[in-house]
Structure 1
Amino acid sequence: MENSFFKAIENKTGVSMEELLTLANAISYADFSDERQVRKIVRKVGKVANKPVSKELEDELTASILQKGSSLNLSDIEKML
């Protein structure tokens, strides 16, 4: 992909492509049955999305993600936030 494409995404979202690719990679290889990993990903997504994640919301999202397991993807997490 072209560098201008990445720049356009960075300008629109305020998130560097490096951060997005790192997050996507973490999600791709995550074990969604491991609560610690799920909590870490929830916090990362909140940070990248620039949305505060309270302890209560983190607990709810983690419980929901653990129930869904491996069928979860980045879009699902984003919708939850």
Structure 2
Amino acid sequence: MTAVALMWEARAVQGRGPELLAWARAQELPREPVRRELLRAPDDRVLVITWWEAPGLDAELPELPEPDGELVTRPVHRWRFEAVP
């Protein structure tokens, strides 16, 4: 098993960053990650990082969905990272 981090980043419609952050915070996953971090950045961007114990990067893991199209300016960006020693 290895530590896998799933990163989810979205940009809210101008001025709706707090609403996007609240939306991301309220999302429940089918199972709990080892750790979950929420971050915000300028331009109403929200980043969520979930940490999982998994057999590798290709493991099937729960991910946050796309928010309502009226809340964001573009599709969500997603990345997967694997911890290295």
- Structure having the higher helix fraction is 1
If the length of structure 2 is used for normalisation, what is the TM-score? 0.29
Higher strand share: 2
Q: Provide the TM-score with structure 1 as the length reference.
A: 0.30
With CA pairs under 8 Å and 6+ residues apart, which has the higher RCO, 1 or 2? 2
